[in-house]
């Protein structure tokens, strides 16, 4: 599926808006479809092929015998009606059947006959036998006359083209739902040229352009602030419902909303390089991926190919022995024609397309569709605390010095200096407290993160670290444990300032549990999925949150690698594990889990490691994902039964298994039943809903 033209950012000018009024027309001209084996079919061509083939089918229906009866138009054009039908049927076969033969060629080249091969075999045999029938009836004057399959050939091609068009429209709607993310961007930007601002379309922005963003405006592209300070609401992009302080050299994301300040920025990402483009690429990748059940459908089609071929040959031999060549050939051909698997071919793609559309409209970006099939076997839901179950809106509750020569405000000032420019929730809380105290951050050099511990940097020639209590315990550094226990048992996260292996002071910050978190935990328990908290925070703080939410299994003071090991531990007995985290420190465990869910993360790490990204950062979206996954899997199974069941029943009937009691499936009846099966599969897929 190639949707690069649809996913390009920066096309929100008037022409794009006009195109949006007729989304289907735009998609018809821009979308491609995988017809099997990597063969791409242009969406506009597919639509045109269907309509041309359908129009050409009408005279075939009027001039072909139906259920053994001659229609008036056949009598009117006699004796040329058979030749006209053959001529029109040939055009339909070559023009309308081309994409299926291209797909079959690719499948056979890969030595994996599947859906397209089975379709091509059905229409190919129908065409060849029908031409033979025309020659036998009109030139050789065969007695009795040989029945042709032009009626079945034309309707089969029409139905298959229509089905693939419906499928593409459904997938297109899924993409359109996610393309609404592009509307987060404004239509114009204030570009700085020779010190003056010029309003330009964002499609005209290029990397390293300098633009001005005014108070209250949406930021038009990803970039770095070069002048000015502000606060930015990134909720529409990352799901974090809070203002993030931004200063010079801070990164900003296109689509987020500027606060009260005006700033100038240098553009670093436009078009397909911006964050929103990365998000939309997730859906494109997901649509191109195949789940295991889709592969199963291809495998079933491959088996049907061999089964139909075998049954056809056996039926031919049997009927040749008990009947005659004409009868044996007719039954063998009927078996191959009826084996055409259109309903089976649509069984999975239609459900997946519908599911993708629903997911996108609910802010569920499904990166790995296989994850949906794991839900029915899910045993454990492991989840991070900060930013996942809690809002990540930290507020300094208390800060103190633990050394007489260091003032409490100095502790806060040094920690704020080290955290300056960071968007981590704990850092934001410290920076806000320092700002409220009017403490000016000092210059920091050699600043760097210490994975799973905190950070380090040099202030005024002295090196400091911000660390957790767990780090102090591992390093056997002395600190006031009574004070720590008091603060932690109240639900605070406590960070310590360390210099030369000496603890100088601490900052305690409280967080708030997200209102939706309790519902998530209750829903998981109701589904017999055990919730487990994994956090790098201290044990006391973790237990406070866990107790309020009803979580009994808690693992605290963890490093990123500890979380990944715990995921493996829970998987050791064959259990299926879902990991829910912020997509940064939780990246190893997200990748390790059977289902990795990133909440409210706009980082490359989340995109690369998670199977599902929840844009709105709402824990309840996990519940919606679980429900949607179950509904999707149920519909897939139902459609596979409908699609494969048709073939399993009709192939033996067409071969004459009930001939001893006087029943052989008429090709016309088989075509009608096949059409009905296709309609049932399509309707069943469209009834997929996300129940509240």
Range of the domain at 209: 185-281
With cut-offs at 50, 70 and 90, classify the pLDDT of residue 74: low
pLDDT: which is higher, 345 or 543:
543
Q: Are residues 161 and 303 in the same domain?
A: yes
Is the pLDDT score of 185 beyond 70? no
Residue 361, in any domain of the structure? no
Q: Are residues 109 and 145 in the same domain?
A: yes
Helix (H) or strand (E) holding 179: helix 150-179
Is the pLDDT score of 351 beyond 70? yes
List Cβ<8 Å contacts ≥24 apart for 21-29: 23/172, 23/176, 24/169, 24/172, 27/168, 27/169, 27/172, 27/175, 27/176
CATH of the domain at 566: 3.40.50.1000
> Is-contact 563 533, C-beta < 8 A?
no
Mean pLDDT of 225-251: 73
Q: Are residues 490 and 462 in the same domain?
A: yes
Q: State the total domains in the chain.
A: 4
Is the pLDDT score of 391 beyond 60? yes
Dihedral sign, Cα of residue 82, residue 84, residue 87, residue 92: negative
Give 365-378 pLDDT, tens digit per residue. 777 777 888 898 99
Closest Cα to residue 301, out of 151, 129, 50, 100? 100
Is the pLDDT score of 404 beyond 50? yes
| Lowest-pLDDT range of 128-132, 184-188, 486-490 | 184-188
Closest Cα to residue 543, out of 389, 379, 378? 389
Query: How is residue 43 written in tokens?
Result: 């969406």
Is the pLDDT score of 655 beyond 70? yes
Is the pLDDT score of 502 beyond 60? yes
Strand pairing class (257-258; 492-499): unpaired
| Lowest-pLDDT range of 68-77, 347-356, 421-430, 560-569 | 68-77
Residue 555, in any domain of the structure? yes
With cut-offs at 50, 70 and 90, classify the pLDDT of residue 324: confident
Mean pLDDT of 458-479: 91
Q: Where among 548, 579, 610 does a domain terminate?
A: 610
Could you confirm whether 604 is annotated as catalytic? Answer: no
Residue 277 has a pLDDT of 64
| Lowest-pLDDT range of 31-35, 154-158, 302-306, 441-445 | 31-35
DSSP 146: P
Q: Check: pTM over 0.75? Answer yes or no.
A: no
Q: Are residues 453 and 522 in the same domain?
A: no
Residue 659 has a pLDDT of 84
> Which SS3 state, helix, strand or coil, does residue 32 take?
strand
Cross-strand pairs, 33: 41
Q: Where among 479, 494, 510 does a domain terminate?
A: 510
Residue 334, in any domain of the structure? yes
Residue 398 has a pLDDT of 94
CATH of the domain at 417: 3.40.1110.10
Q: Are residues 164 and 297 in the same domain?
A: yes
From 82, 179, 384, 621, active-site residue: 384
Cβ within 8 Å of residue 316, ≥6 positions away: 328, 329, 331, 332
Is the pLDDT score of 433 beyond 90? yes
Give 13-63 pLDDT, tens digit per residue. 333 333 333 333 333 333 454 555 444 455 457 788 889 999 999 888 787
Residue 41, in any domain of the structure? yes
CA distance readout (Å), 166 to 28, 174, 294, 643: 12, 13, 17, 16
Residue 581 φ/ψ, nearest 5 degrees:
-155, -175
Q: Where among 247, 281, 315 does a domain terminate?
A: 281
Q: Are residues 36 and 156 in the same domain?
A: yes
Query: How is residue 200 written in tokens?
Result: 């330009």
pLDDT: which is higher, 300 or 444:
444
Closest Cα to residue 334, out of 6, 609, 594, 664? 664
Closest Cα to residue 36, out of 88, 140, 106? 106
pLDDT: which is higher, 361 or 520:
520
pLDDT-above-70 percentage for the chain: 77
Q: Are residues 428 and 448 in the same domain?
A: yes
Strand pairing class (378-383; 576-581): parallel
| Per-chain mean pLDDT for the chain | 78
Q: Are residues 207 and 233 in the same domain?
A: yes
Is the pLDDT score of 297 beyond 60? yes
What's the burial of 672, exposed, middle or buried (CB within 10 Å: 0-12/13-18/19+)? middle
DSSP string, 584-603: STTHHHHHHSSEEEEES--S
Q: Are residues 422 and 348 in the same domain?
A: no
Residue 628 has a pLDDT of 93
Mean pLDDT of 225-240: 71
Rounded Cα distance, 595 and 603, in Å: 18
Rounded Cα distance, 595 and 378, in Å: 9
Residue 463, in any domain of the structure? yes
CATH of the domain at 276: 2.70.150.10
Give 550-569 pLDDT, tens digit per residue. 999 999 988 777 888 999 99
Helices (H), ranges, 204-322:
235-238, 275-288, 292-322
Residue 597, in any domain of the structure? yes
Closest Cα to residue 559, out of 646, 476, 470? 470
Residue 576 has a pLDDT of 94
Q: Are residues 246 and 196 in the same domain?
A: yes
Q: Are residues 66 and 170 in the same domain?
A: yes
Give 566-625 pLDDT, tens digit per residue. 999 999 989 999 999 875 567 778 888 899 898 764 445 545 677 888 877 788 889 999
Q: Are residues 173 and 312 in the same domain?
A: yes
Residue 6, in any domain of the structure? no
Is the pLDDT score of 511 beyond 70? yes
Rounded Cα distance, 508 and 13, in Å: 49
Mean pLDDT of 197-202: 88
Is the pLDDT score of 499 beyond 90? yes
């Amino acid at each position: 599926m190639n949707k690069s033209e649809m996913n390009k950012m920066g096309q929100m000018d008037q022409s794009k808006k006009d195109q949006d009024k007729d989304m289907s027309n735009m998609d018809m001209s821009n979308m491609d479809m995988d017809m099997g084996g990597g063969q791409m079919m242009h969406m506009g061509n597919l639509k045109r092929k269907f309509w041309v083939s359908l129009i050409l089918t009408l005279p075939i229906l009027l001039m072909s015998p139906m259920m053994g009866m001659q229609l008036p138009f056949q009598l009117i054009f006699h004796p040329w009606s058979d030749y006209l039908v053959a001529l029109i049927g040939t055009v339909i076969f070559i023009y309308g059947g081309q994409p299926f033969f291209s797909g079959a060629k690719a499948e056979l080249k890969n030595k994996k006959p599947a859906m397209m091969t089975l379709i091509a075999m059905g229409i190919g045999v129908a065409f060849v036998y029908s031409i033979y029938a025309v020659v036998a009836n009109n030139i050789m004057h065969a007695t009795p006359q040989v029945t042709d399959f032009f009626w079945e050939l034309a309707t089969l091609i029409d139905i298959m083209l229509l089905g693939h068009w419906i499928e593409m429209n459904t997938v297109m709607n899924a993409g359109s739902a996610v393309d609404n993310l592009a509307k987060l961007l404004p239509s114009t930007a204030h570009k700085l040229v020779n010190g003056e601002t010029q309003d330009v379309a964002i499609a005209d922005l290029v990397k390293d352009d300098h633009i001005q963003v005014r108070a209250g405006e949406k930021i038009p592209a990803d970039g770095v602030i070069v002048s000015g300070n502000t606060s930015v609401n990134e909720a529409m992009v990352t799901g974090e419902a809070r203002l993030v302080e931004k200063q010079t050299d801070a990164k900003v994301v296109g689509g987020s909303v500027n606060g009260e300040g005006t700033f100038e920025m240098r553009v670093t990402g436009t078009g397909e390089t911006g964050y929103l483009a990365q998000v939309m690429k997730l859906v494109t990748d997901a649509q191109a991926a195949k789940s295991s059940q889709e592969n199963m459908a291809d495998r079933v089609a491959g088996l049907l190919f061999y089964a139909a071929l075998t049954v056809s040959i056996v039926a031919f031999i049997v009927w040749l022995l008990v009947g005659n060549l004409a009868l044996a050939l007719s039954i063998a051909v009927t078996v191959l024609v009826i084996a055409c698997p259109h309903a089976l071919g649509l069984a999975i793609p239609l459900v997946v397309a519908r599911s993708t559309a629903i997911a996108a409209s609910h802010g569920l970006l499904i990166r790995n569709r296989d994850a949906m099939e794991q839900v029915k076997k899910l045993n454990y839901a492991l989840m991070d605390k900060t930013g996942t179950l809690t809002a990540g809106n930290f507020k300094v509750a208390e800060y103190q010095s633990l050394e007489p020569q260091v003032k409490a405000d100095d502790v806060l000032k040094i920690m704020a200096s080290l955290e300056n420019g960071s968007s981590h929730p704990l850092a934001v809380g410290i920076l806000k407290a320092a700002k409220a105290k009017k403490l000016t951050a000092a210059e920091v050099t050699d600043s760097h993160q210490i994975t799973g511990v905190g950070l380090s940097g040099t202030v005024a020639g002295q090196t400091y670290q911000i660390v957790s209590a767990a780090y102090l315990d591992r390093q056997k550094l002395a600190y006031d444990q009574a004070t720590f226990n008091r603060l932690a048992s109240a639900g605070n996260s406590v960070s310590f300032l360390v210099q030369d292996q000496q603890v100088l002071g601490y900052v305690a910050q409280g967080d708030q549990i997200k209102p939706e978190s309790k519902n998530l935990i209750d829903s998981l328990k109701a589904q017999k999925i055990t919730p487990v908290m994994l956090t790098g925070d201290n044990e006391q703080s973790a237990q406070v949150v866990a107790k309020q939410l009803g979580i009994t299994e808690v693992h605290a003071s963890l490093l990123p690698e500890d979380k990944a090991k715990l995921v493996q531990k829970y998987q050791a007995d064959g259990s299926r594990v879902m990991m829910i985290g912020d997509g940064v420190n939780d990246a190893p465990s997200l990748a390790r889990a059977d289902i990795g869910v990133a909440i409210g993360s706009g980082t490359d790490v989340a995109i690369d490691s998670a199977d599902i990204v929840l844009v709105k950062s709402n824990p309840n979206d996990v519940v919606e994902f679980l429900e949607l996954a179950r509904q999707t899997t149920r519909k897939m199974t139902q459609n596979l039964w409908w699609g494969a069941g048709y073939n399993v029943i009709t192939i033996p009937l067409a071969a004459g298994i009930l001939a001893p009691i006087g029943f052989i499936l008429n090709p016309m009846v088989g075509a009608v039943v096949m059409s009905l099966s296709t309609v049932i599969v399509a309707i069943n897929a469209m009834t997929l809903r996300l129940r509240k």
